[in-house]
Chain A
């Protein structure tokens, strides 16, 4: 499977990558995006099976990317890894069609719990 990791922080992209590996998902094909526009472009161009996205990014927020994808008929599995987790954000994520919502800081156990049903 191909996974797109979208975060404007290089450190966080690296931590997400490492945590995926620790949770046993290191064999998947990983692609990265560093802002909202790149996330949208790569989701369309690279056709990942899963998008793990930050919320607050330059150019476009993660939820704006998700809304654009859904409006264009793209139903890729898409969810958020973010340090912000207010109820209204979770509701907005769910309403936009997000598959999961992971709060930073996170552990490999949390990744396993969320991604096992998706990645098998």
Chain B
């Protein structure tokens, strides 16, 4: 069982992920915006962060930079699960991996729920 911070602006999709993660026995904090996710971190230290990059307000890159600027959240595994098309994501991959510690980048429309759950479980196990 792990603490999962889910940063997902699409409510319908977030509900599906939350149900699946709860069924797998995880504790979930679900947020729709970066500001909300950062404030949640004070009370809920996640073992894994699953997030969209395209958010309203502060975007996912800003969230990641902020997340990594705190010593207690510098090493939390992050899985990016995004609607951003692979061509747009490609130029960002190197920095996401090298500077922001993103462990996996998934293209949402081509990622099954089973695959996402498997990757989260792998990262939660360390």
Do A and B come from the same complex?
A: no
- Residues of B near any A CB (own CB < 8 A): none
Q: Which residues in A have some Cβ–Cβ distance to B below 8 Å?
A: none
